[in-house]
Amino acid sequence: MAGAALSPDGKLLATADYSGIVQLWDTATGQAVGAPITATSSPNMSANGVAFSPGGNLLATGGSDGTVRVWVIAAFLHPYATLCTDVGPPAQVDWAAYAPGEHEPKAC
């Protein structure tokens, strides 16, 4: 592991690894939260560090290729709500095409 950071409320742990991947973890369950985050713009570069904002709503990642990104934590905790806020509810046909086998929430 190249780096780790605990969220201000202690509920999430972010880990960065040498393959350029950052993962969020639920500290109560030890389970991964959301999809892995690619912290670099080039393949085979390491993710050097992670840091939560003081409010815990943002995560900064840094890669060995010089890439620095800021992520909105809510997008990983509540992806469907984030999608609805950003672009509106997906059509049923789109949900079936892009999230096959996943249960579609009732409403945004």
* pLDDT digit string, tens, across residues 69-84: 898 888 777 777 777 7
> What's the pLDDT at 14?
96
pLDDT value for 86: 72
Whether the model pTM is above 0.75: no
- With tokens 């934590």, the residue in question is 73
With CA atoms as reference, report the closest residue to 72 among 84, 57, 86, 85: 57
Distance CA 57, CA 22 (A): 16
Residue 78, φ and ψ in degrees, nearest 5: -140, 70
Sign of the dihedral through C-alpha 103, 107, 11, 7: positive
pLDDT single digits (tens) 11-64: 999 999 888 889 999 999 999 988 888 888 777 788 888 999 999 999 999 888
Domain boundaries of the chain, sorted by first residue: 3-77, 78-108
